[in-house]
Chain A
Amino acid sequence: MANTQTTVPLFVANQVLTAAQQNASAGTGVPVFATTVTRDAAFGGSNKVLAEGQLCYIEASNVVQYYDGAAWATVGPSTASGLTLIKSQVIGSGVQTVTVTNAFSTTYDDYRIVVSNTTLSGGGIAYMTINGSTGSTYASSGYSMSYTSATLTGDYTGATSSQGFGLAGALGTSSSTITVDIFSPFLSTTTQTVSRYASNTTQSTWGGYDSNTSSSTNFTLDINSTFTFTGGTIYVYGYAKA
């Protein structure tokens, strides 16, 4: 039985419900199966013939699927693909440092952190520390440029900085955005960062490394230890492992 419908029937009191109507109603609903194996076993034989347009829900993977006439496909992004928002944090007014807790866990190895549309009280370098790392184990470097000059400025922190990962340089005091990819902060291994920054006047790109192999769950942002953040939002996303 094909799933194509030509009407959406409306029943009235005392109307006879025919077998055909009941079958059409039951056959075009969204059945729920435990796994794809029980899904495949539920069609054919004395059951409904699988046909294009059939929908189902799979409990094992928490996805809705459709049959395209040849194979099953998942509706929308599944929970196991792409970037997943872990948490977001609105930044207060005039805060020296911003800490986001429980950002890293065993669920993901790598993360993207977006600091969107915040205003800085002064320029210099933006830093990030992770709570499992103590001592002077960070190393970073990067380049920055203004929008009105082709001059490229390079900065570096040295190989044993305690300040944190350098994320961006030549910071402006206008609306600013930073993106950071951080790799393996929760794993008991070294951690790397790759970051990009843009304001209304400057931009920069940095990379960083932390030789401390301790596991971290939190991160903290600061500007030269001296300047503050006001407004904007921090978003933390996890990269799916598979």
Chain B
Amino acid sequence: MTYEEAVEMYPHDTVFIQIDDVVRTMTPAEYEAFIQSVVNYVPIT
């Protein structure tokens, strides 16, 4: 998946993370890291 495809599939305002009791959208840095993880992910199944 390309960077652009990842951003299109996972818009910033639709990606939520949870830290203890708090559920929120990602900071720009967290979102960037998330998109990179999606781009770099190699399925192993």
Contact = CB atoms under 8 A, between A and B. Distances in A.
Interface string B6-29: 000010000111111101000000
B37 interface: yes
Contact of B44 (A96, A157, A226): A157
A100 B19 CA distance: 6
A95 interface: yes
A96 B37 CA distance: 12
A51 interface: no
Contacts of B19: 99, 101
Q: Is the interface of A mostly helix, strand, loop or mixed?
A: loop
Given A89-B21, A225-B37, A225-B38, A94 B43 contact: no
B18 A98 contact: yes
Contacts of A101: 19-20
Interface residues of A, number: 28
Interface in A12-44: none
A155 B45 contact: yes
A82 interface: no
9 contacts: A93-B23, A99-B20, A124-B43, A155-B45, A156-B44, A157-B44, A225-B34, A226-B41, A228-B16
Interface of A: 89-101, 123-125, 153, 155-157, 162-163, 169-170, 224-226, 228
Given A100-B20, A101-B19, A225-B34, 5 more contacts: A92-B18, A94-B16, A97-B17, A156-B44, A225-B41
Interface of B: 10, 15-21, 23, 34, 37-38, 40-41, 43-45
